[in-house]
Amino acid sequence: MDFFELYQLGLPLVFNIQVLFSIALGTFIGIVFGSLPGLTATMGVAILVPLTYGMDPIQGIAALIGVYGGGIYGGSISAILVNIPGTPSSVATTFDGYPMTQRGEAGRAIGISVTSSVLGGLFSIIILGLFAPIIAQYTLRFSAQEYVGVTLFGLSMIAVVSQGSVLKGLFSGSLGLFLGTIGMDPVTGFPRFTMGQNDLLGGIAFIPVMIGLFGISEILIQSAENIKEISISQKIGRVLPTKKDLTKLFPVILRSSILGVIVGIIPAAGGTIANIISYGQQKNLSKHPEEMGKGSIEGLAAPEAANNATTGGALIPFLTLAIPGDAVTAVLLGGFLIHNLQPGPMIFQNNPDVVSAIFISLIVANVFLFTFAMSGANLFAKIISAPKNVLYPVLVILCMIGSYAIRNSAFDIGVMIIAGIIGYFMRNLDVPIAPLVLALILGPMFESNLRRAFILSDNVFYSFISRPISLFFLLFTIILFMYPIIKKFILRKMNS
Amino acid sequence: MFEKFFYSLFIILGILIYTIAGSFPQSSGLSPSLYPRIIAIIIMILAFSLIVKSFKSENKEKNFTKDFLKDDGNVRSIIVLVLIIIFAIMMPIIGFILSTFIFIIILMRILNIRSLGKLAVYSISITGLIYFIFVNLLSVPLP
């Protein structure tokens, strides 16, 4: 099946009222789910899968794909507007998105994030179409060593990404690493640091921590302000990014999309990792790194493009090898099976029309995403300028629902509250909170793969260097880590 | 002052982690105690550096503890926190809807909404909306 057939075959399948409607509905639900802190894209897809049972396959899959794209984007809305990432894939979006809202530029921020996300998503679909089979071969070669490289890379980004003192950022990250060790040991199953609590055996769920750390702490801090009906008036108006903005952002978006696709392709690495790595990259490469974290549009566009670019990327190993590229595609696998579709090499031959329909649905979903989010942008900005004393109680409740809903666990609500307290103190002391969440997510991945690597091979250290992909990641990490230091060094030499 | 106190807590945490990790069984390859111990050491080093650093910028430091409770705002934060905790505890006892309803009223009152009318309208509508959206539309389990 050549490139053009890929996009042609599915056209009649997708372009009928029912399917288009499903995609639209799915995208809308996805956006809503993503934007509510605690409800994630993965959850949205999971909840919707059984609902699509009655639909015919193309329609059902199309709807799920809509939820996927919408969900990954949705997290950015709350990230920008209230500094609470709606999904883990929008953590880095808070860094520059929220300051823009604080300046009254919420509309512009949403406009930029939508545009970057949609462009990222569309880009990833193009790559998906062009390279799917070829790339898939490489992901099969990923073993423990490569994952160590990837996670190490992600973790090192923490140092780069820390707003303010790097020392404090590392401190925050190390706390997250520790929290990640709580629970059953990945190799031996021995419970670590659980203090006899059964709820801790599975480890600390990171979503309640994220909600508490970002959300509850924000609410606590804001309560300290003497809130009458103060709100920041938002510049409602032009939401579509200006040509000037677009030209400035184009290289950023391109770079971030490439990164996002690559991360998406890596099984189990998805929007969350892409989001943060992209931000770190942008900070490294930017000509004005001091602007990042204060509302720079590059700082907003980079993570946004990357996290949506993972959608197409994650579909590559999923479609070609039935290996989920990230959490959402893992759930999507279930969706496919319900509709009697088996992803994998055979699907390209047996159901080329379905594959094509998927591609086209993804494109259509992105288009819907653009329309919905853009038209909603002014509405969202208005909602945020609602008086805080109404907004915050609602947020607290949403946070509670979100934390509970993950595992139907009241324990998680407790986790959220404790995380909120810790977050409150951290913020008062200017310790950045994002590194903690990131380390909490990446740390366990890093450790379990590191230990697997040790078990799998005899000559461990050699195994890291002899495998090309692993070596690549390790070198890349070292270079990136050293880059700011070397830059300073060279600048100093040039000045003297 | 508070800063140093805060970080020294973490040094203690680091020591705790290190000791507890010692009780983990060894295994082939890397043992379960190695990684936590390394983390413990990192935490202690970083906490210590941060304490040292806070000595250097002694002058600029906000006098945290003394003025903390004097500031009205901070007291408010603590009240909100306590309220949230009570809310969480109450929920399994009196049910989601009722506790949400009461919570909204109290929280809004704290945040300065005075008029009874507004309080009533908001709390009823918000509780109702949330219930409707989450339970009926989205089938999301409520606490």
Task: Indicate if the pLDDT at residue A444 is higher than 60.
Answer: yes
Angle between helices A144-161 and A434-456 (to 10 degrees): 160
* Contact yes or no for B36 and A429 at CB 8 A: no
Question: A85 or B133: which carries more pLDDT confidence?
Answer: A85
Question: A315 in a domain, yes or no?
Answer: yes
Whether the complex's predicted ipTM surpasses the cut of 0.85 = no
| Cα separation, A322 vs A333, whole angstroms | 8
Q: Is some CB atom of chain A closer than 8 A to the CB atom of B77?
A: yes
Question: A483 in a domain, yes or no?
Answer: no
Question: A160 in a domain, yes or no?
Answer: no
Question: A187 in a domain, yes or no?
Answer: no
Span A101-113, mean pLDDT? 83
Q: Please, are residues A447 and A131 in contact by the beta-carbon 8 Å criterion?
A: no
Q: Which residues contact B132 (CB under 8 A, 6 or more apart)?
A: none
- Sort out which chain B residues have CB atoms less than 8 A from A177's CB and list them: 39, 42
Q: Which of residues 39-68 of B touch A (CB under 8 A)?
A: 39-40, 42-43, 46-47, 49-50, 53, 64
- Sort out which chain B residues have CB atoms less than 8 A from A451's CB and list them: 29-30, 35
Q: To the nearest 10°, report the CA torsion of A90, A95, A99, A101.
A: 0
- Sort out which chain A residues have CB atoms less than 8 A from B25's CB and list them: 188, 190
Span A18-30, mean pLDDT? 84
Q: What is the pLDDT of residues A361-405, one digit of tens each?
A: 888 888 888 888 877 776 766 666 666 666 777 777 777 777 776
Look at A267-276, A306-315, A456-465 and tell me which has the smallest mean pLDDT.
A456-465
Q: What is the pLDDT of residues B61-115, one digit of tens each?
A: 554 544 555 566 677 778 888 888 888 888 777 777 777 777 777 777 776 666 6
Helix, strand, coil percent values for chain A (each to nearest 5): 80, 0, 20
Question: A313 in a domain, yes or no?
Answer: yes
pLDDT band at A229 (very low <50, low <70, confident <90, very high): very low
Task: Indicate if the pLDDT at residue A1 is higher than 60.
Answer: no
Number of domains chain A contains = 1
Question: A159 in a domain, yes or no?
Answer: no
Q: Is some CB atom of chain A closer than 8 A to the CB atom of B112?
A: yes
What is the percent of chain A with per-residue pLDDT over 70, rounded to a whole number? 85
- Which pTM was predicted? 0.76
* Contact yes or no for A413 and B36 at CB 8 A: no
CB-closest option in B53, B73, B126 to A225: B73
The sign of the dihedral angle between the CA atoms of A109, A111, A114, A118 is negative
Q: What is the pLDDT of residues A61-99, one digit of tens each?
A: 888 888 888 888 888 888 888 888 888 888 888 888 888
Closest CA to B130 of B103, B93, B107: B103
In A, minimum Cα distance to B45 occurs at A171
Q: Is some CB atom of chain B closer than 8 A to the CB atom of A25?
A: no
Q: How far apart are the CA of A240 and the nearest CA of chain B, in angstroms?
A: 30
Q: Which domain holds residue A258?
A: 3-148+205-406
